[in-house]
Amino acid sequence: MIDIIFSGLVHGGVYALVAVGMSLIFGVTNVANFAQGSIVAAGMMLAWWLGGTLGWGIVPVTLAVALATGVLGLLINTAVIAPLEGRRPIAALLATIGVGQIIDSGLQLTFGTRTRAFPQLLPTHDLQFAGVRFGTSDVTMALLAVASMAALWAFLTFGKVGQAIRATSQDPQAAQQMGIPVGTVRNVSFAIGAVLAGVSGIFVGLFNANVNPTNGGSIGMTAFVAATIGGLGSIPGALAGGIVLGLVESVGVSLIGDGAHDLITFGALLIILIVRPQGLFGAAGVQSEPMTGTFLDAGRPIELPRWANWALAALLVATPFVFSDYLAGIGTQVAIYAIAAVGLTLISGSAGQTILGMAGPFAVGAYASALLVTRAGWPFLAALPAAGVIAAIAACVLTFPVWKLSGHYVAIATIGVGAVMVAAIRLAQPLTNGSLGIQGIPLPTVFGQVLYTQQMQYLLDVIVLLIALAAVTRLRRSHLGHVFEAVGSDERASEALGIRSGAYKALAYALAAFLSGVAGSLLAHQYTYIDPTIFTSTVSTLILTVVVLGGMSSPLGAVLGSIVLIGAPEALRFATDARVLIYGALLVVIILFRPQGLFSRKA
């Protein structure tokens, strides 16, 4: 048990370094920087290249990584975050997601996706104490982590710039009135946060001995969980949260198994949000909500006349009869993601609550439909809506305790819900076949006709998409839809009028989860094979990007966003390896230059 605790402390130290950078940036800029994990991966791969290929030692490698990642953090703030000053904080949050995708994809294009051995930058000698075996590199890493934390504490406590950072964190407006250059302080904060992330990448490489450029996202998300546990914006909280999470993961994995890693991590996140949402060291009562609000103030959906809607519907239904197998196959992907995105316009567009974990309901719908058909003998047409209902119920049950909260607490909870759903699917091996997935899922059968061609499946997807569009559009025009928009436009005013905003957001989320589950059902029966690796956080980001691209409050915009984001790269057969980079770049460009989306007009 002692060696397990030691391993947890080492992992926790790495999480703490990244989490401290996140909390520092959050406290000063009110931005939840989801690109932090990608900066970890950048520091890790740069250290691998400098140490392994060029043969540099630990000191020059550390200095070079610190310099490069510091410049990267400064560039992110000046080029992407600072121009969004004055907009709703959700804009900066989504922009950091796009920046993370750009960095991750750039690293994979540069270094490839294979796993490689990390160079031994530190001499390792096996030691033993109290029954625990460890190396001198482990001791050095622990000392370096402690030294980094101590240096940061001294800088923030005694340094003039550090004191300015603390003042800006407590009250930016008061700090500016006192003559503190808030813009410069924010640049410094982003640079320091990036340096901490880059240096922690070196520690990750040394501890794991093997590195892969795709690991940054999971490290960053885990560090974000640690920062949330400690209290977003609290540097001591980030330190404590990292250590606590490292210990909980180490002990939990040793008892349950490595397959339960995500369940432990994100289960701990949900528990802390329910019990103490502000975190261990966070202040109660959050005044600013960096993950709530929409771009409703930037635009309104374009309303087409009824004849134009009917014409577009007829054109959409006609496409399967003129498309080739290849184009029809692309069309199925476009339609499936459009169905999931149309639902998201209700909760993230109308109701104003950012949802970052739609991959969870998507996965539940896919597995529910596959199991109902293959094991329970249900017909496909019965399993299709049932999958949506099951996904909606699962999402509501897991998020039920957090709807009493508001803003970014709920958004963070949806991250946990999505990850917990997929982790539970992986662990339920007798039912779901675990990581091996489900094979032999039958093709869709409609009124006795097996849809064995791409055109047939595409026609089915188009019909379901049109039904979803009609239902969501009608709902948005109803009294309930107006209530959703009232909650999204001004939650406090809605509460003052007696509207229970949390209940209406929960309802909008259930409707979105239903459509996401239906989309998952279509995907399962058209793939005929599913496994947990299909439903990663990238899927959640992709669905959210589709909505932002088309217009967060526009159902037709969601279809247009899916065509541009998913259909265009496939149809033109370009940038296969750089697809995620294109997704990220489009997300950043849309947020910076057309926040209302492609199919919305300026308000």
Sign, CA torsion 500/549/423/194: negative
Considering only residues 411 and 335, tell me which one the structure prediction assigns the higher pLDDT.
Answer: 335
| Helices 454-477 + 501-527 axis angle, to 10 | 170
Phi/psi at 353 (nearest 5 deg)?
A: -115, 115
Residues 189 and 48 sit within 8 Å (Cβ to Cβ): no
Residues 537 and 94: their CA atoms lie apart, in Å, by: 14
What DSSP line would sit under 25-65, residue for residue? HHHHH----TTHHHHHHHHHHHHHIIIIIS---HHHHHHHH
- What pLDDT sits at residue 457? 93
- What pLDDT sits at residue 298? 52
**Amino acid letter, 582:** I
Considering only residues 371 and 188, tell me which one the structure prediction assigns the higher pLDDT.
Answer: 371
Residues 25 and 553: their CA atoms lie apart, in Å, by: 29
Give how far Cα 275 sits from Cα of 227, 264, 402, Å.
16, 16, 10
Residues 269 and 262 sit within 8 Å (Cβ to Cβ): no
- Picking from 172, 60, 41, the residue whose alpha carbon sits closest to that of residue 105 is 41
Residues 502 and 369 sit within 8 Å (Cβ to Cβ): no
What are the residues whose beta carbons fall under 8 Å from the beta carbon of 434, sequence distance 6 or more?
A: 259, 426, 427, 428
- Picking from 99, 97, 589, 23, the residue whose alpha carbon sits closest to that of residue 357 is 97
**Amino acid letter, 23:** S
CB atoms within 10 A of CB 359: 27
- What pLDDT sits at residue 20? 84
Residues 483 and 486: their CA atoms lie apart, in Å, by: 5
Per-residue pLDDT tens over the stretch 55-96: 888 889 999 999 999 999 999 999 988 888 777 667 787 888
- What pLDDT sits at residue 219? 80
What DSSP line would sit under 464-482, residue for residue? HHHHHHHHHHHHHHSHHHH
Residue 98 has pLDDT above 60, yes or no: yes
Sign, CA torsion 344/270/199/1: negative
Phi/psi at 129 (nearest 5 deg)?
A: -150, 130
User: Considering the chain, what is the average pLDDT of its residues?
Assistant: 83
End-to-end CA distance of the chain: 60
Residues 452 and 580: their CA atoms lie apart, in Å, by: 30
Please state the rounded mean pLDDT for residues 310-314.
89
Bridge partners, 117 (sequence order)? 210
What are the residues whose beta carbons fall under 8 Å from the beta carbon of 240, sequence distance 6 or more?
A: 229, 230, 280, 281
H-state helical runs in 401-500: 408-427, 429-432, 454-477, 479-489, 491-496
Residues 369 and 336: their CA atoms lie apart, in Å, by: 15
CATH architecture observed for domain 1-275: Orthogonal Bundle (1.10)
- Picking from 464, 442, 465, the residue whose alpha carbon sits closest to that of residue 379 is 442
Bridge partners, 331 (sequence order)? none
pLDDT grade, residue 133 (50/70/90)? low
CB atoms within 10 A of CB 92: 23
Give how far Cα 127 sits from Cα of 131, 135, 580, Å.
10, 6, 44
What DSSP line would sit under 244-279, residue for residue? HHHHHHHHHHHHH-GGGHHHHHHHHHHHHHHH-TT-
Residues 505 and 485: their CA atoms lie apart, in Å, by: 10
Q: Which two tokens stand for residue 76?
A: 């992110």
Residues 62 and 40: their CA atoms lie apart, in Å, by: 13
Please state the rounded mean pLDDT for residues 164-182.
76
CB atoms within 10 A of CB 591: 26
Residues 280 and 2: their CA atoms lie apart, in Å, by: 25
Per-residue pLDDT tens over the stretch 411-424: 788 888 888 899 89
Q: Where are the domains of the chain?
A: 1-275, 316-573
Please state the rounded mean pLDDT for residues 171-181.
77
Residues 187 and 529: their CA atoms lie apart, in Å, by: 47
Residue 441 has pLDDT above 90, yes or no: yes
Please state the rounded mean pLDDT for residues 441-466.
93
Among the residue ranges 267-271, 289-293, 569-573, 597-601, the one predicted with the least confidence is 289-293
Residues 213 and 197: their CA atoms lie apart, in Å, by: 14
What residue has token string 């330190």? 239
**Maximum distance among all alpha carbons in the chain?**
79
pLDDT grade, residue 297 (50/70/90)? very low
Per-residue pLDDT tens over the stretch 137-152: 667 766 776 777 777 7
Residues 435 and 259: their CA atoms lie apart, in Å, by: 9
CB atoms within 10 A of CB 261: 17
Domain 316-573 fold is: ABC transporter involved in vitamin B12 uptake, BtuC (1.10.3470)
Is it true that 1-275 and 316-573 share their CATH fold? yes
Residues 336 and 522 sit within 8 Å (Cβ to Cβ): yes
Please state the rounded mean pLDDT for residues 500-521.
92
Residues 96 and 520: their CA atoms lie apart, in Å, by: 27
